[in-house]
Chain A
């Protein structure tokens, strides 16, 4: 097996007296889609925010390319090539697709914006992701459907040669056809050699695109296994009970003496 691109080892995180993450190990491999699943309150969002650099860690290591890195904020993480696509998308409705994709990182020649170069790069990126549902890259984002908006948000993350992309519930608000589009896009990202993390509640989506599944249960990793080793019902058991057969946490941490 290849080495992980991004790895967390033994991460603990508490908010006051609430111990949210217990010795969590998490790895993202290049060219693979790693699904992060878990019930509400299992610690998914906290883990994502630690990876994104929004939260610090109480203990544990953050490795990128097998090197230990010191992450102090979202900018450090962005510099490593890790991009997070949040559920609420973070696009400006009054700007067009190109303007949104380059927001905050506009190309300039002198003090003037280099719109031509930006449009060319945006077009290239969208084409390389085989996005063919947008009428024009100069369309305002307000006119896009939910799936198209998600596509733009993902393309924005890819534009900067990022190596790891975290997608937070990318299909939550989408219809059937649009979910299809986004899942295809997720697969293509991994095929390009990126490490993709998919956070989802939808088991069908997870089973369809994930290569590995990491299940969190009450702040602990219940399982970290290849997707083909699991069935749909096993995942559900891991999420709801933390164990499934010989997989999972040996002792239910909710009742165990810690």
Chain B
């Protein structure tokens, strides 16, 4: 795209003629968006389309897939992958990788369970201790990567191998620790229906107020802003999603509704939403978030701008492993136990896949917290749907691998298009 760069500027010319401050109409906004897509800036669109396709396939293949009971299950199953992927987004933003996050989460969950069972700690104190242990592991990884300059792939591979020993030593081969009480209830109990509706209403109202206030203040100051129609559409879409999900989960979803009453949002969901809101705010609206993107985009430029690349790198690993501890607890809550294999196997790879499918670039500099949510839902939907269809386990691996390959290809192709089209 040539942006009128061939006309020499005159000294007296005191406005920049080609500056368009806003897409004035909805049509312009749509055209802008299409241009961005064509230029390779896909965001989460491929993941959303993928989710729609998966839902369509599974709904037509099995009549129990789209029941409220199964949807609630899906939310609970996706929780731990989403939280782990959200942590992974931070290291991917810097173009690094953390292979050890899964087993670090398992090790932290082991420590939490032991503190509660053997030492009688209350659940929240034990949880805080677990997250702190995760943060310390992240700190060590970060120091090794940024001070010694060992590639993060190697450091975290070593931690992936080494940290598996923690759970094995503490629990013993073949043993497991039961998770009971509040931590278990996160997966099996629900938010009271009334409280769920109030929270949903507050979120929608807050989003609407913030978007409208932002629109007003930016248009009043003559800054780049979206057309009002687009702002309204965004509010309506968000309200539809939030209120729709709340309505779905507030209905009685027991397989035998005459006998049991299972209704309300599973506690996992508000935890995921709170983390999503928090990290979205940190990444988008704080100086720290801006610096994280800068280091991921061009570390040398960030260094020259006075940003401590070292500190940013270490902090990303601390956040990643801290989030992994929370993910390990959610996973333990779902299965009701911690065993030496917790967090091992494919857990981490699924989380990386979730982040990448959601639109976070493996090459650094691009990614959002919401990517982890959308990608995590895709990853969780595959075994959920295939499980209903009674497919053999090998199909699950093939489909998940295929989806990841597709997502990575989209990432690579859109990256090429971005550098070619430069939009």
- Chain A: residues with CB nearer than 8 A to chain B? 75, 86, 88-95, 99, 103-106, 108, 111-113, 116, 119-120, 123, 126-128, 130-138, 142-145, 147-148, 177-178, 180-181, 184-185, 187-188, 191
Contacts and interface: CB of A to CB of B under 8 A. Distances in A.
Given A94-B293, A111-B286, A127-B15, A136 B224 contact: yes
Given A116-B217, A132-B19, A181 B298 contact: no
Contacts of B306: 75, 104-105
Interface in B6-55: 6-21, 39
Given A127-B14, A188-B11, 6 more contacts: A88-B300, A92-B301, A94-B293, A94-B296, A103-B294, A112-B286
A120 B220 CA distance: 12
B287 interface: yes
B205 interface: no
Contacts of B418: 142
Nearest to B10: A130
Contact of B224 (A89, A103, A138, A184): A138
Interchain residue pairs A-B with the least CB separation, the first 5: A104-B305, A132-B16, A92-B297, A94-B297, A94-B365
B9 A132 contact: yes
B223 interface: yes
Contact of B298 (A93, A108, A148): A93
A139 B216 CA distance: 21
13 contacts: A103-B302, A104-B291, A112-B285, A113-B286, A113-B290, A119-B224, A130-B12, A135-B18, A137-B224, A144-B422, A148-B3, A177-B6, A178-B5
A181 B287 contact: no
B304 A90 contact: yes
Given A75-B306, A90-B305, A95-B293, A116 B218 contact: yes
B198 to A, nearest CB: 26
A143 B1 contact: yes
A48 to B, nearest CB: 14
Given A103-B307, A105-B306, A116-B217, A133 B16 contact: yes
A130 B20 contact: no
Nearest to A141: B297
B423 to A, nearest CB: 5
A88 B285 CA distance: 28
B345 interface: no
A157 B296 CA distance: 22
Interface in B269-324: 285-287, 290-291, 293-294, 296-298, 300-302, 304-307
Contact of A133 (B3, B217, B223, B293): B3
A228 B389 CA distance: 85
Contacts of A94: 293, 296-298, 365-366
Contacts of A86: 304
Contact of A104 (B11, B16, B300, B302): B302
User: How many interface residues does chain B have, given as a range?
Assistant: 35 or more
B5 A133 contact: yes
Which of A99, A132, A138 has the largest number of chain B CB atoms within 10 A?
Answer: A132
Contacts of B422: 142-144
B4 interface: yes
B172 to A, nearest CB: 46
A127 B16 contact: yes
Nearest to B289: A113
B298 A106 contact: no
Given A106-B287, A113-B287, A142-B418, A90 B298 contact: yes
B221 interface: yes
Contacts of A95: 290, 293-294, 297
A128 B15 CA distance: 8
Nearest to A89: B301
A126 B291 CA distance: 23
Nearest to B2: A145
B419 interface: yes
Contact of B11 (A91, A111, A144, A184): A184
A95 B419 CA distance: 14
Given A142-B419, A145-B3, A130 B9 contact: yes
A90 B300 contact: yes
A92 B307 CA distance: 13
Interface string B160-201: 000000000000000000000000000000000000000000
A99 B284 CA distance: 12
Contact of B423 (A105, A143, A181): A143
B356 to A, nearest CB: 16
Contacts of B301: 89-92, 103
Nearest to B367: A94
Contacts of A135: 3, 18-20
Contacts of A185: 9
A54 to B, nearest CB: 10
